[in-house]
Amino acid sequence: MTERTPPPVTADSPIGPDVDLDRTDVRLEDGTRLTEHKAAEIVDEVRRRGGRPSLTGEAATSPRIVFRVTPAVRDRAAEIAAREGKTISQLAREALEARVATEPQTA
């Protein structure tokens, strides 16, 4: 049986099961192989930066909102997000932004 080469890892790649990068050929978006050493370097860089870039594009941390949903809602959101090529966070952010945009501002 031939081992299938997975698709390239991108910023929107879903989180899946752990992979032994010394045995499995995983490629980054630019085509280079992701090794355990390269993965560690990427993690160190992200930790130094403080995570993902701000949504505003400025050198600031974007506020976070955390909430719970039922497994059925999460699964359905994952299906929709995957179909649209988005993350669940992007889908949730768009829904909240649309709702907030329709609400009149007070004072």
The Cα–Cα gap between 103 and 101 comes to 6
pTM of the model: 0.47
Residue 49 phi/psi, 5-degree rounding, is -75, -25
Paired tokens of 34: 């992701």
- The strand pairing partners of 33, in sequence order, are 27
The pLDDT of residue 10 is 66
The three-point CA angle 40-46-52 to 5° equals 145
Q: What percent of the chain has pLDDT over 90?
A: 30
Averaged pLDDT, 50-75: 79
Over the stretch 70-93, which tens digit does the pLDDT of each residue have?
999 999 999 999 999 989 999 999
Cβ–Cβ < 8 Å for 11, 22: no
- Of 16-25, 56-65, 78-87, which one has max mean pLDDT? 78-87
- Of 10-19, 39-48, 56-65, which one has max mean pLDDT? 39-48
The pLDDT of residue 105 is 86
The pLDDT of residue 71 is 93
With H, G, I as helix, E, B as strand and everything else as coil, classify residue 91: helix
Q: Where are the domains of the chain?
A: 7-61, 65-107
